Every structure is written in C-alpha cells, then in structure tokens.
A and B are shown apart, each in its own frame.
Chain A
Amino acid sequence: MKTYVSVLRLRLLNGMQYKVAAIAGVATQFFWGFMLIMVYVAFYSHSTAPPPMTLSQVVNYIWLQQALLALVALWIRDPELLELITTGNIAYELCRPCDLYGFWYAKLLAQRLSNAMLRSFPILIIGLLLPQPYRFSLPPDITHLCLFLIAMTLGVLILVAVSMFIYISVFYTMSPMGSLLLFAVIGEFFSGLVIPIPLMPAWVQTLADFLPFRWTVDFPFRVYSGEIGMEKAWLGLGIQVLWLGFLIVLGRRWFQHSVTKTVVQGG
C-alpha cells in the first residue's frame, strides 16, 4: 500500500508544476459553463411541463461538471502508459516489485487528482459568487455534502477502474484511438456529461441504469443538489461499491491475463 501512496504523491507534485496551463483551463471551463447555462436558461424559460430537474439543479450539475472535468472525463489519457505498451517498454514495468495493476491505477488516479485540484476550486468559488441564475449554490444541508463527497470519491474510483480497461484493450489493438473513442463517446453520454441524465427520455435512462457510467458523474452530482434523497443516496452508495468491486476484480484478472500473454519483441 505504501508504494501506491508514494506513487500517488510523486505524480501529484509533478502535475502541480503546470500552473499556467491550469489557469488557461479554468478560463476555458468558465466559458463553457456560462454557455451551457445560457442554453438551459433559454430552454427552461418557455418550458410547458415542469421538467424533472429545477434550473438551479441543472446549474449546479454544470458547474460541478466544469470544475471536476479533469476527474470525470474519460477522454483524458496518459500517453506515457500507452507508449509503454506500444513500444514494448512494458518489459521494464514488469520488473517492478509490485502489482502492476495497482501501480498504474495509482498513477492514473494521481494524474486526475493533480489536474483537478488546481482547477476545481477557483471555478467553484467564483461560481458561488455569481448572480442568479448562474450561481452555483451550496447543497441543502451538511449531510448531503458529506454524502456527495463519499459518492464523488467512489465515482472517481469507478471511473479510473473503467479507464483501466482502455489501457488493457491496447494490449490487443496496439492503438488507443478506437477503444478510447468508443469509451469516451458512450461513457460520457451515459454518465451525463452531454446532457444531465434526468433530462433524457425514459428508455435512455433505463439503458443508463444498466451501465456503470452514471455512477461516476450523474449520481454524485445529483446527491449534491439534494435531488436524490437520503435513502436513495445510501442505496446508490451501495451500488457504487458493488460496481467498483466488480470492475476492479474483472480488470485485474484481465490485466494479469494480458500481461502474461504479452510477447516483448526486440532487445
């Protein structure tokens, strides 16, 4: 465990070096947030039937999404790991005296955390100060905040477990583009990054229920704004843990299998 923690810490410090990039990122995310909110404001201004989410819940959803994008976006990839696999340098990795799945998992997690840490707070803090209807509001009470934090942590852990499958698939395809695209497009759609899941038609929502993706973004975000009540939230946390366990066990198995089958060519 200690090894993984130190890997995490090293990567975190490494990622924090790029401050200007982070500022530019914040500006971009801000613009996106504003633009999306304006679209939803326009949609909501003439809606006839009351939509399943209130506007302020949608606004919270959007700001959380913009602030935590580095944590939850599936298209973010680690070129280093991909290169290891395609160039055959994975041979060195195999020499490491620790479990490679855990090692990579920690690496990916740290990368996301370090990216998000610099970006998320400025966005959320400024978001809190904005005028209505753009304001990012606080959760209804402290329990919802705590539940959100737990749900978000579990969500990110699930997400990293999902993204491990992208790297595993590269062992077979040798090119990350295909699986990355498939995962990114399907995953982001069903995690609620294109439009919030509750605004989708019923049949799409049922489809989303059977996939792990909505537990990474949609569920924690809705716990935050209090749209998902206490009882349902606890149930959701349980489902998250189940998914997490399932994905890690499966991913680990498959990873070990593909690693033992790799043939490294050249010397």
Chain B
Amino acid sequence: MRLLMRYFSILFQSQMQYKASFYLLTFGQFIVPFSVFAGLYFLFQRFGQIRGWSFYEVALCFAVIHMSFAISESFARGFDAFSSLVRNGNFDRILVRPRSTVLQVLGSNFEFSRVGRLIQSLLVLIWVVFHLSITWNILRVATLILMVASGVFIFAGIFILAATMCFWTVEAIEVANIFTDGGREMAQYPLNIYQKWVARFFTFVIPFASANYLPMQYLLGKESGSQGYLYMLSSLSGILFIVPCLGIWNLGVRHYRSTGS
C-alpha cells in the first residue's frame, strides 16, 4: 500500500509538470459527460419519464455510474494502456520484481485529470440528493457508498480482463470498449428499461445491476423490509466480481510469453 502511494505521488508530480495541459484535460473530462447529461435532461424534458423512473432517479444512476467510472478509470489506467507494456516487452521487468504484478501495473499509471469527470458526477449527485425525497440514515448512506464502490470494482474488473486479453493477442482490442464505455452508457439508466436478456446479462454475468438498479430499489424506498436489505447487500456482488477477474489475470500472467529481447 505504501508502495502504491509512492507510485501515485510520483505520477502526480510528473503530470503536474504540464499545468496548462493538465487543467485543459481536466476541464475536458468535466465537459464531456456534461454534454451527455444535458442530452439526458433534454430527453426527460420532452418525455417526462422512462418506464416509471423520474428524471432525478435516473440522474442518481448517472451520477453513481460516472463517479465509479471516473475513479476506476484513473486507477486502472495502467491496465488500459497495458498492451504497450506487453508489446515493448516491458512486462518482463515487472515480472522480475518481488511485488505482485497487479500492484505494479496499477501503479504504472494514474490519470489525475479524471478528477474532472468525478467533479461533474459529484455535482450531479449533490443536486439530485436535494431533489429526491429520501430520508437519509446510516444504512442509506452506506448503500450509496456501496453502489459507487461496486461500480468501481466492476469497471476495474473489466479493465483487468481486457488487459489480460493482451497476453494472447498482444494488441489491445477495441471490442472491450463495449463493456467499459458501453457499460457506462448503459448503466446510466436503470437496467429494467432494457430488454430482458440485456438486463439479465448485466445482472448475472457483469453485475452492473448491483451498482445501480438493485440497490436503488432500497435507496428509493421501492422495496422495504427484509427484501430491501437483500437489495442493499446485492451491491456487494459487484465488489466480488473482481475476484474471478484477478484469477483470470493470474492465469494470463502464467501464460505470458515475452515479445521483447
């Protein structure tokens, strides 16, 4: 953990070397989801609601997913750019060091400019919380935090899976974007607006539902009693998603054959 912090502080210093570029990137990260959010807002102005969900409820979904995506992307950036590590043969260097590979790849890069996206979703979240009539208690706050955490771990898991593919293909594959960017766009709406099979896929295979749809039932008071607690705990399954991903990663590491010389 201390090592990871060292990695990050070095990266932070190096990224702050180009201040103007850093602020521009951060601003860009702020403005891009903002335009998506504006689109969402306009659609709700036109249609009023979507399958019984109001604008603020969907906006809550949006804020949670974008927040977890921002956090996850900034941490897992090293995995995102992993193909270059394999292609250059630099992964060999990581293998000979006496620390875990996951830790080192995690520390190899950190995108601080993603803070822009984080701020945007945080603003949306605050705005939404004021408009939704939720009686807040410790359990509900915990649910919200768990939702974000669950999302972070799901995205991280997908990033790791995509990086693992590089052990076989060397080159990064664009298709993985379906699950990162696509997953983000998809999960900004409650999952039950989609076709059944899509919702099922994103509940049981990649548990995005555990980051928004299921715990939101509890958060918004749509389900109460013991059923409600069950929904709340479902967000834990998103965190568990990382376990098989790490397993596959380790399998990939064992399979790794160096390309460098």
Interface on A for B, CB 8 Å cutoff? 21, 24-25, 27-28, 31-32, 35, 38-39, 42-48, 51, 175, 177-178, 181, 185, 188-189, 194-195, 199-201, 204
Name which residue of chain A comes closest to B194, CB basis. Answer: A38
Report which of B27, B28, B42, B189 forms a contact with A39, defined as CB distance below 8 A: B189
- Alpha-carbon gap, A210 to B185, bound state (A): 29
A199 near B193 with CB under 8 A, answer: no
Q: Are B24 and A38 in contact (CB under 8 A)?
A: no
Q: Report, as a range, how many residues of chain B touch the other chain.
A: 20 to 34
CA distance A234 to B15 in the complex (A): 52
Question: Interface with A: B45-53, B134-142, B238-246, which one?
Answer: B45-53
Q: A177-B24, A194-B36, A199-B42 are in contact. Are A42 and B51 (CB under 8 A)?
A: yes
**Inter-chain contact A195/B39, CB cutoff 8 Å:** yes
Contact A51 B46 (CB under 8 A): yes
Given the complex of chains A and B, what is the CA–CA distance between A188 and B31 in angstroms?
12
Q: Which 10 residue pairs spanning A and B have beta carbons closest together?
A: A42-B193, A194-B39, A181-B28, A24-B174, A195-B39, A43-B47, A31-B178, A189-B35, A178-B24, A38-B194
Residue in A24, A31, A195 whose beta carbon sits within 8 Å of that of B43 in the complex: A195
- Chain B residues lying within 8 Å of A21, measured Cβ to Cβ, are 174
Interface pair B174/A28, CB less than 8 Å apart: yes
- Is B248 interfacial (CB 8 A cutoff)? no
The digit string for B22-60, where 1 denotes a CB below 8 A from any CB of A, is 001101100110011011001101111111100000000
Partner of A177, one of B25, B36, B43, B47: B25
**Contact status A46-B49, CB under 8 Å:** yes
Q: How far is the CA of A200 from the CA of B27 in the complex (A)?
A: 25
Q: Determine the distance from Cα of A56 to Cα of B36 in the docked complex, in whole angstroms.
A: 22
CB distance from B159 to the nearest CB of A (A): 17
B50 to chain A: which residues have CB within 8 Å?
Answer: 39, 42-43, 46
Having A35-B185, A47-B46, A178-B28, one finds 4 other A-B pairs with CB under 8 Å, namely: A27-B178, A39-B193, A46-B51, A201-B46
Contact B175 A27 (CB under 8 A): yes
Q: Which residue of B lies closest to A30 (CB)?
A: B178
CB proximity of B112 to chain A, nearest CB, Å: 15
Bound-state Cα–Cα, A48 to B193, Å: 17
Q: Which B positions have Cβ atoms within 8 angstroms of A? A: 21, 24-25, 27-28, 31-32, 35-36, 38-39, 42-43, 45-52, 173-175, 177-178, 182, 185-186, 189, 193-195, 198
**Chain B residue with minimal CB distance to A32?**
B182
Determine the chain B residues whose CB is within 8 A of the CB of A204 once the complex forms.
42
Contact B21 A45 (CB under 8 A): no
Q: Which chain B residue has the least Cβ–Cβ distance from A200? A: B42
- B221 to chain A minimum Cβ distance, whole angstroms, is 22
Is there contact, CB below 8 Å, between B35 and A194?
yes
Known contacts A28-B182, A42-B194, A194-B39: A185-B31 contact under CB 8 Å = yes
Provide the bound-state CA to CA distance between A27 and B39, in Å: 24
Chain B residues with CB under 8 A of A27: 175, 178
* Residue numbers in B under 8 Å from A28 (CB-CB): 174-175, 177-178, 182
CB distance from B90 to the nearest CB of A (A): 22
A44 to B45, CA, bound (A): 13
CB distance from B66 to the nearest CB of A (A): 15
The interface residues of chain A lying within 8 Å CB-to-CB of B177 are 28
What are 22 A-to-B residue pairs whose CB atoms are below 8 Å? A21-B174, A24-B175, A27-B175, A28-B174, A28-B178, A31-B178, A31-B182, A35-B186, A42-B50, A42-B193, A43-B50, A47-B48, A177-B21, A178-B24, A181-B24, A181-B27, A181-B28, A181-B32, A185-B31, A185-B35, A188-B35, A194-B36
Residue of A nearest to B27 (CB): A181
